Amino acid sequence: MKVIRKVDELREYSIEQRSKGKTVGFVPTMGFLHEGHVSLITRASLECDIVITSLFVNPTQFAPHEDFDSYPRDFEHDYNLAKNADCDVLFAPARGEMYPEGATTSLSVGDLAYVFEGKYRPHFFDGVATVVSKLFSAALPNKAFFGQKDYQQTLVVKALSRDMLMGVEIVVCPIVRETSGLAMSSRNKYLTDEEKSKAKILFQSLVATKEFIESSERNRKKINAFMHEYLRKLEILKIDYALAADAYNLSEPSEFEEGMDVVLLLGTILGKTRLIDNMVVKIPVSNYNEDERFQAGLK
C-alpha cells in the first residue's frame, strides 16, 4: 500500500490508473479508522480496481468550540487497518496541502445544509462540501463510498457531485454497529463505559419507532413524539432532534404516503459526546383483496 501526501502526486497516480482503464474508488475519512470505515474500503475493493482512502481531519467542518484539536488521530493504527482491508493508496495530506496559505474559496450546498444537523452545526456541511470537492479533485475517483450513519451528509455529497458536474458516483453503505446496536463512530472513544452502555437507547428507539410505523402510523408529528418519548427514558441524554422526514429530500409532510421511504434521524449529546444515528423505514402499503376493493368502490 502506497502512502501519498501530495495532491499533485495523488492526481497523477489516479490519472495513470484511469488511463489504463481501471476504475478508481475513493473512501474519504478523518482517520481513527474503525470497522465501519473498513467496510467502506472492502466495498470499494469489490467494486473498483483501485482503492484510495484519505486520512484528513478537516478543520473547516469544526466550529471553534468543537473537538478539532482533540479529535483522535493514530496514523499507524489507520495504516494497518487500511492495508489489511486491501486499500491501494493511503492519502494523508498536511493541512497546508489541502488549504494552501491564502485560500479563501469555500462551497455552499444551499438549504439542505442548514436543517436538522446543519441547524445545530451551521458551519458543518459547507465545510464538508468544500473538503470533499478538494478531495475529489485530488483523487479523481469514479466512485466514492460514504457510510449511511452520516445520512444527511450523504444527501449533501450527492447534491455536490450532481450540481457541480463532478461525475462521481456516490455509493452509500450500510451502518456498521457494535453488538449493543450503537453505530460505530470515531467519537465513541469519548464515551465512558457507562455512557456507552446507555447509548444503545438510540438504536433501540429507532427499532421501536420502525415498529410503530409498521403498525400503520403515518402521521409525522405522532412519529416524532413517539421517538422523543422513547429517548426521554434516558434523562441525561440531550436531544437536539429526533424526527422523521422524506428519505430523499428531507421534506416533512404532515402525513407520509403509503410506500414512501422515510428516514428517522437522531441528533443527540450524551455527556460531552455528540451522537447521531438514523434508520430508513418504508411506510406500509395497505393490502386489499379484490372483494374489499369492490366493496370500497360501492361506498
The residues that are catalytic are 37
Q: Are 241 and 267 in contact (CB under 8 A)?
A: yes
Please write down the long-range contacts of 195-202, taking CB distance under 8 Å and 24 or more positions apart: 195/270, 195/271, 195/273, 198/234, 198/236, 198/237, 198/270, 199/270, 199/275, 201/230, 201/231, 201/233, 201/234, 201/237, 202/231, 202/266, 202/268, 202/275, 202/277
DSSP state of 71: S
Nearest alpha-carbon partner for 282 in 210, 207, 197, 206: 210
Helices (H) and strands (E) in the chain, counts: 11, 9
Q: How far is 168 from 160, CA to CA, in rounded Å?
A: 10
Distance of CA 234 to the CA centre of its chain: 25
Place of cell 466550529: 63
What kind and span of H or E run contains 84?
Answer: helix 75-84
From the number of C-beta atoms within 10 Å of its C-beta (0-12, 13-18, 19+), residue 268 rates as: buried
Rounded Cα distance between 194 and 234, Å, is 12
Neighbours of 193 (CB within 10 A): 7
Residues 6+ apart with CB under 8 A from 128: 58, 61, 153, 156, 157
Q: How far apart are CA 25 and CA 142, in angstroms?
A: 6
